Chains A and B, each alone.
Chain A
């Protein structure tokens, strides 16, 4: 016999779903999924003492976006960006000092200043768990001389794609592993092969 009431056991799962959604509404979940392991780089140092500037915006970088229709997810990126940046810089330059602003004292032994800037951190969100999800991080690298004149600038991209699957957190972790590999491979190659940096080193 057909029930006349909408509030019956037949609809229990629907009401449970609605109740759970109401509890989750507006929640922000933090996923600590950026790669823990810092990449290792082949040491090919330029004969330069650089100041590696890690601005606050870069140190606190994060991705924030939709997790599901009722909650958002936050992925901190700053820690992994900093550890990989330091590791890469130490492989590429003879001496690396770390700072938070690009002011170089006149009597300093620093030859150049390397500054990374997070341009973009974006993730797509497929409609279903079967869809492909893409994460992309874009970084801009600037190398300036002691007088803040630009020697070289380049913008590099790292992009990772996996199926979103039933566990979006796992997907995010896999994507970010690919993203960071690509991002720092591209950054390393770009600095190693830069004609402008080579010319600066020769002149210095």
Chain B
């Protein structure tokens, strides 16, 4: 029993629930990568620093091929426009072909397997062996839930942006592992003015 107690205490160390801070947008002017076109202001900031990604997302998303990109869109005109999250894509400079779409569902499933959610079924299979490891498994499971929840809460969402208002949040792009540079990537943001449904595409470099 003493041995089990020691293992339990040891595994309990560091079992505090993961807490991830909110990401607060800066003023539009403070973003070095921004554009204003036809009264629509777009500022984007890809998070490439591992420490910063871990701070806001609890894990280094880049190691799983996911690039979080913060986006702030302002309506400086007198007409509303629609921003549809599903239509925002990354394209390469050369081909202008759609390279990657954004999807939190894909990101969540990638993360679930990467972060070790399989630790939980492992306990079901072998409860005797796993009893001392339960706190560790609980910690892993808890972290996965926290990371998934946080991804959903911070994600950019579809919205009609009225005059004088803005939309903001993170896009999650699943980059091919072979893609090592961000320099040749561009973000395409289709907007639809309402009423009238006049379409316009704003394109800008990722970095």
Q: Quick one: CB contact mask for B64-78 with A, threshold 8 Å, 1 for yes?
A: 000000000000000
Where the two chains meet, the residues of A that have a C-beta atom closer than 8 Å to any C-beta of B are 10-11, 14, 17-18, 21-22, 25-26, 65-66, 69-70, 119-120, 122-128, 131-132, 134, 136, 138, 140, 149-155, 157, 159, 194-196, 199-200, 203
Q: Name 9 extra pairs, CB < 8 A, besides A65-B145, A127-B139, A152-B194.
A: A11-B1, A25-B124, A119-B152, A127-B16, A131-B142, A136-B149, A140-B158, A195-B80, A203-B195
| A150 & B82 in contact (Cβ 8 Å cutoff) | yes
Contacts of B152 in A (CB 8 A): 119-120, 122, 136, 138
Q: Quick one: CB contact mask for B150-169 with A, threshold 8 Å, 1 for yes?
A: 00110001111011000000
Summarize A's interface: helix, strand, loop or mixed.
mixed
| A126 & B195 in contact (Cβ 8 Å cutoff) | no
Given A138-B157, A155-B158; A199-B195 close (CB under 8 Å): yes
Specify which of B84, B141, B162 is in contact with A196 (CB 8 Å cutoff).
B162
* Interface of chain B residues 1 through 51 with chain A (CB within 8 A): 1, 4, 15-17
Contacts of B146 in A (CB 8 A): 124-125
| B123 & A69 in contact (Cβ 8 Å cutoff) | yes
Sample 27 A-B pairs with CB under 8 A, ordered by A number.
Answer: A10-B1, A14-B1, A14-B4, A21-B123, A21-B127, A22-B127, A25-B124, A65-B145, A69-B123, A69-B137, A69-B141, A70-B123, A123-B149, A124-B142, A126-B17, A126-B142, A127-B135, A127-B139, A128-B15, A138-B157, A140-B158, A150-B194, A153-B160, A154-B159, A155-B158, A194-B160, A196-B194
| B127 & A153 in contact (Cβ 8 Å cutoff) | no
| A124 & B157 in contact (Cβ 8 Å cutoff) | no
| A69 & B157 in contact (Cβ 8 Å cutoff) | no
In angstroms, Cα B135 to Cα A150, docked, is 49
Category for how many chain B residues contact A: 35 or more
| B141 & A195 in contact (Cβ 8 Å cutoff) | no
Contacts of A195 in B (CB 8 A): 80, 162-163
In angstroms, Cα B99 to Cα A55, docked, is 31
Specify which of B80, B127, B149, B195 is in contact with A70 (CB 8 Å cutoff).
B127
Specify which of A66, A138, A152 is in contact with B120 (CB 8 Å cutoff).
A66
Whole-angstrom distance from the CB of B165 to the nearest CB of chain A?
9
Nearest A-chain residue to B145, judged by Cβ: A125
Whole-angstrom distance from the CB of B116 to the nearest CB of chain A?
13
